[in-house]
Structure 1
Amino acid sequence: MLDTTYHVETPEGIDLHARAAGPVPRILAYAVDVLYRTLVLIALGIGLAVADTAGIGIWLVCSFLLEWFYPVFFEVLRGGQTPGKKAFGLMVVNDNLTPISWGASLVRNLLRFADFLPFAYATGVIAMTLGRHFQRLGDLAAGTLVVYREADKAPVALPDSTPLPPPRNLKRQDQQALVSLFERHDDLSEARQQELANLLEPITQKRDSAALGYLRSVASWLLGGRE
């Protein structure tokens, strides 16, 4: 099955994840940005019509700046979102899920000419379609990707569990997986959680509901719960 979730583990061992945005919402967001830029240029053209030749020169400069630096301005100074991306809940980030920098934004946008080839951004669309995380050539070169901006969520209500210290032979990555399972209990069915808990049977010596209850208690302890 297609999994659009993008995972990154920080040096501190924190697991970050985001949903990569596919070609369709990105194309629609780009179309909205083109519409906005076109409206601005039309308004400038009307306003500069009285300036004759000088007005044409100013209009051409503004057209150049809007084409190449409009997205850079919004991506860096507006949380990775141009107006079009904001309309569809998208944002640009570095591939380690940190906010995009000036350098990365400049690279990804200046390389749009390569994605445009041979016409109508055909190369960029093909690259996004074939790529694991829907990155066009500019994204690959700049080390960026477009993801969905998650809405602020209410704090997760964790199940009540009596904290228990973890077994001595529980590895660090197992502890991280355990905490993740505990925090995602609302997203997974009880049967699926028990199935995952059974994977640690060699360590816990428990199965099904007993294993899940025990792991929840251990996760509660790992998250700071103490008796």
Structure 2
Amino acid sequence: MTRSTLRQQIADALRDEVLAGRLRPHVEFTVKQIAEQYGVSATPVREALFDLSAQGLLESDQHRGFRVRAFTVADYRSMVEARALVIDGVFRGIVGGPASASELLATHHAAMASVRRRAEEAARAARCGDLDILIGYDLRFWRELGVIAGNTYITDFLHRLRVQAWVFAVPYLRGDADVQEWLWNGHQKLVEAITAADRTAVRAVLDDYYRHGLNWADRLAAGNPPHPGHD
């Protein structure tokens, strides 16, 4: 296994730990601790931790180590707004362009087939309130859907925002008895609207996605539910 591959595997494993809520904000850890946990040398661990710091998921202190970044409700609201602006431009170009629905499906047939499967699993997990399943499928759904846009810079930017949003949301959602009410499940509706090249329907689904995020932010700002471990 090459060092770069090991570096990526460690980064992916730590990201999963954060998304699962097992690595919490404010809990500090060192390169040595992570290296011992995974049974590897310090160098790829240090590189993986710096990669996650560059992605905005970790904060580092030269003398005390690393900790998961503690995002605020204001941060989350900004993520939702930034995501909405970028997504709007992306899908306006896809659905509002000259290609018909049949041309769109022919050009991106394999990608859309995979996206449709991700959408089904993500929506099912959201309706069941299964966060562990939902997060993985939701991230894959949006990332694969971004392939249609054909712009890796936009896809990577949106993926980073979504990971950060999930990192913020997980501690709230895991302690919320009404979690199913606050998990967006419109993935299949969006795929259907894109497949039909129905610009109005796409706009309606994305508007619902945007409102859903802001409504949840309003609820959190009111302290319902409180963030576990936060005053």
TM-score normalised to structure 1 length = 0.27
Q: Which structure exhibits the higher relative contact order, with contacts defined as CA atoms closer than 8 Å and separated by 6 or more residues? A: 2
Q: Which of these two proteins has the greater Rg computed from alpha carbons?
A: 1
Name the one with the larger strand percent: 1
Name the one with the larger helix percent: 2
